[in-house]
Each structure stands twice: as structure tokens, then as C-alpha cells.
Chains A and B, each alone.
Chain A
Amino acid sequence: MLAQGPADRIEIDAGMLARFMPMHLLLDAGGRALAYGPTLERVLASAAVPGARFEDLFDVRAPGGAVTIHEVLERGGSRFRMVPRHGLRVGLRGLGLPLCGGKRILLNLTFGIDLISAVRDLSLTDADFAATDLAMELLYLAEANAAVTRELRGLNLRLEGARVAAEEEAMTDALTGLRNRRAADLVLERMCAARASFGLLHMDLDYFKAVNDTLGHAAGDLVLANVGSILRDQLRAEDCAARIGGDEFVMIIAGRSEPGTLQAIADRIIARICQPMEFEGKSIRVSASIGIIRSVDFATPDAAHLLASADRALYAAKHAGRGQAVLLHSGGD
């Protein structure tokens, strides 16, 4: 600190003041405007005239209740917030101090957090701010942040897409396009937990091993892929068809408990599978056996128990002669 005395008094003319503080307002002792910084002049537009009273120019928000510049400085110390009554309605933050033994009052203002909208609305440029102002850095940071956020949002969407695809893949049997064992177990567990009523079909292809042995795996794969498309064709979107083993399939028919309906679905599937398929000019014939059970036959449906019962029904179907569907009522509960 300098000692009080003539040495620490400096003179500064209006031009210099405007460069150091483009948002200043110089008032006389009565609170009337003597000079406006060039940027503040743009904010206030036509209201920025010499002699205008502070309280006519600004609506003071803090300190609360203060109206005139004297009240502002008295109550709020040197810091305050206000909004221009004319020109651009933008929040301004400021600092004010009496000068020249109270004959002048100097205010220096800033846009604070409203900087970006003020810059946009007044088309301000670099030259409208003091060289020491951090306005450019703030504008830069706001845009850099927006760009980073946009990239992160994009990354999130792409990762989410990849996750959904990976999950779908993890639940799908690649050869037939049906669900796999894991997916079928999940669906079954979920439906048991919800006490939903549904029919469970357990299907095994007949003569499939013979196709594989005589015509090779390519022929076997063709049969499996065909069965896949038949099941997709015969079932509704809310049903679930899965390949759970080599030539073993499980179908969950949602909301169907009538024996006749379930039997008809199974018969239709078998009829389609029994139709000859063609592989490299040769005709292939397979058939299928299906065991049917109904969730309503079980007092406390449980996935493992239901699958075991469906397997017994399938065994009964095979035993009864192939190419048949057998519905087993007694769940064995």
C-alpha cells in the first residue's frame, strides 16, 4: 500500500477509463449519469443519455429494497445485482465506489452468468471487452463443454446400441435365429414367477441323426434352419421358440391353456416339419415329436419342474409312435 498523499492520486481520462472498463458508469454525487462505457452504452441503447438517473436506468435486485445508488452503496457494501429497465434485459453484477471525496460515483459492471446471451443479442466482439476480461475464456469453455457433452452423448448411444446387439446375440441361436437355452430359461423363470398361464411344448426331431449321418452336417444344418423358420412362422411374437440342444426345441405359448388349442398348434408344427425339404437336389424327410404341458396343471410352477414334465410328455409322444404330439395333464404335483 502506498502512503496517503498526492503521490497515490492518479488521473485517468474518459478514453482510458473506457478501455479499462468498457462497462463502467460514472455518476455525479446526486446519482445522475455523467459518462457510460461503450459496451454499457450498447446494453442500455437509447436510454444511455447524460443526466439519466440511476434508478431510472436500473431495477436493483440486490441488496433488496435499495432503489437509488446511495441506498445500494449503503446497504450492499460495494457489490450489487441489477437489471436494466431499458435496452437489453440482462442480469448485471457490479462494484461501485465514491470517488473524488464523494463528488463522483464510479460503477463497474459485468454480465456475470448472462454473458453468452448478452454476447449473442448484442453481437458483441472481442473489442467490446477489456483485454483482461475472462469473457473469451468463458465463451470458449461453454462451447468446448457443449462439444464434449455432445461427443459423450454420442458415445453413450453407440455403446447402448452395441450392448443391445450383444445382449440379443447372447440370447439368440445363430443357426436357426431362434432364442437359445439361456433365453428360454429366463422367459420360463419370469413366467413362472409371474404365475402366468401358458403352454410349454418340448419338441425333438425324428430321423434327424440319419440325415446328419447320410447327407452330412450341411444337410442337418439346413433342416435346423428350416425348422427355425417354421416355428417363427407358426408362433406369435409374444410366444418364445428356442433351440435348446442339437435337435431339441422348446416353445412357450403365452396365455394359452386350452388343451385343444395347444394340441392344434403342435399338430400344425409337426405337419409342416413332415413336409419334404430339399438339399442339393435330394429330398429330405424328417418328422417331429412334441410333448405338451400346461402351467395351469401345476400348483406351484417352477421352471426346472416344468421342463422335466415336458420332457416326460415328449417321451410319451415318442413312445406312442413318432410324428405325434402328446399332452400330459398330470403335472406330477
Chain B
Amino acid sequence: MDALMLRSLQCYVIGTFGAARWQAVCAKAGLVVGTFEPMLHYEPGTADQIAQVAAEVLGRPAETIWEDVGTHLVTNPDREGVRRLLRFGGVTFADFLHSLEELPGRARLALPDLDMPDVTLVEVGGDRFEVTCRSHLRATQRVLVGLLTAMADDYGALCVIDAGEDDRTTVAILDPRHAKARRFDLALPAR
């Protein structure tokens, strides 16, 4: 999990602030190599440590950075794959929220040794949901908040998303059809 988080952080910082700022983060963190490989293994907790350094270099709180990383994962055109995989979760944003519980299982289909955090979803009222995401990384909840925000946009749903205590995030759907959803074809055009 740390590897994916670190790679996403790296892509976000390079894409948003430029390669020089990322090099500055790596130098300050004392890293010899300035590249994190998504398919390799890193010491659990590394992602939180590097984010702390990034927060100092970029002058913004780590929580904000992680939320932006979550949004960047979905909206960055180079990473269209992530958005597509998430959109397979359902036809509406509420369907998508329900599919979050399946996310670890889905991820394990593709990467059997990925230590995805457990996600549970509780429908607390008509259009109110509580998402609990237990992870050894503090970053995870914030990435989830950013990702949910971007996906709500993708589905054209108007939502209030709050990161609460105990890894619990609340999502209130105010209007599921607030804007036009971004187009999603089940199959990519043939190359």
C-alpha cells in the first residue's frame, strides 16, 4: 500500500509543482533515488513520513496534500485507468459508494499481494453514508476523501464529504444529478 501511495504522491507533486520540487522533497528526506516504484515494497509507514517532508517543502499540511493526491488520481488524464476502474463500481454515485466495500477484493483480483485497507460502508439515512477505512497509514483516509470528491464530480453528484474521527468519512448526497456525469464507456476503443 505504501508503494502505491508514494507513487501517487510522486506523480501529484511532479505534475503539480514540477520535478525540481519533488527532488527537493527527496533530498530533504535523505533519499538516494528520487523514484518510488508502485510494484515494489517499502517499509510500512514510509508514505506518511515522506508526506511530512513534502508538507514542509510545499508549505501545506500533509492532510491537504493527500486529499489532493486522491483527487489527482481520478482527474489526472495520464491516470485515466484509475477513474475507469472506479467507475466500474456502479451506474450512480450511490452504487459506486456501495461498491467501495468490494474494492479490496477487486484490487486483489489484479494484485493478489496488495494489502488494501478494509472498507465498510454504512447507509445512515436516505442519502447519507459513513465510510470507514482502516489502514496503518494516516494518509489513506485523506486520499479517500479526495478520491470521493473527484468521483462525485465524475458522476455529476453534489455531495458534502467530511473526514471525521476514527477513520470515518461521512458522505451526504445532496443532489445525485446535479451536473452531467462524465462519459463512461464500458470498453475502451480498440487500438
User: Could you list which residues of chain A lie within 8 angstroms of chain B, going by C-beta atoms?
Assistant: 116-117, 119-120, 123-127, 136-137, 139-141, 143-148, 150-152, 155, 158
Contact = CB atoms under 8 A, between A and B. Distances in A.
B175 interface: no
Contacts of B39: 151-152, 155
A124 B187 CA distance: 9
A141 B111 CA distance: 11
Contact of A148 (B106, B111, B187): B111
Contact of B110 (A119, A123, A127, A145): A145
Interface residues of B, number: 22
B185 interface: yes
Contacts of B168: none
A126 B185 CA distance: 10
B187 A155 contact: no
Given A140-B85, A147-B85, A158-B37, A120 B188 contact: yes
Interface majority SS (helix, strand, loop, mixed), chain B: loop
Interface majority SS (helix, strand, loop, mixed), chain A: helix
A151 B36 CA distance: 12
B187 A140 contact: no
4 closest A-B pairs by beta carbon, nearest first, are: A144-B110, A120-B187, A119-B187, A140-B88
Contact of A139 (B81, B111, B187, B190): B187
Interface of B: 35, 37-40, 81, 84-85, 88, 90-91, 106-107, 109-111, 185-190
Contacts of B106: 140, 144
Contact of B85 (A116, A144, A152): A144
B110 to A, nearest CB: 4
Nearest to B84: A143
A140 B84 CA distance: 9
A126 B111 CA distance: 25
13 contacts: A117-B190, A120-B189, A123-B185, A125-B186, A126-B186, A139-B88, A140-B85, A143-B84, A143-B188, A144-B110, A150-B81, A155-B37, A158-B37
B111 to A, nearest CB: 6
B186 A139 contact: yes
A293 B35 CA distance: 48
Contact of A127 (B37, B40, B91, B111): B91
Given A126-B186, A140-B85, 19 more contacts: A116-B187, A117-B187, A119-B186, A119-B187, A120-B188, A125-B91, A127-B91, A136-B88, A139-B88, A140-B88, A140-B106, A143-B81, A144-B106, A145-B110, A146-B81, A151-B39, A152-B39, A155-B40, A158-B35
A151 B37 CA distance: 9
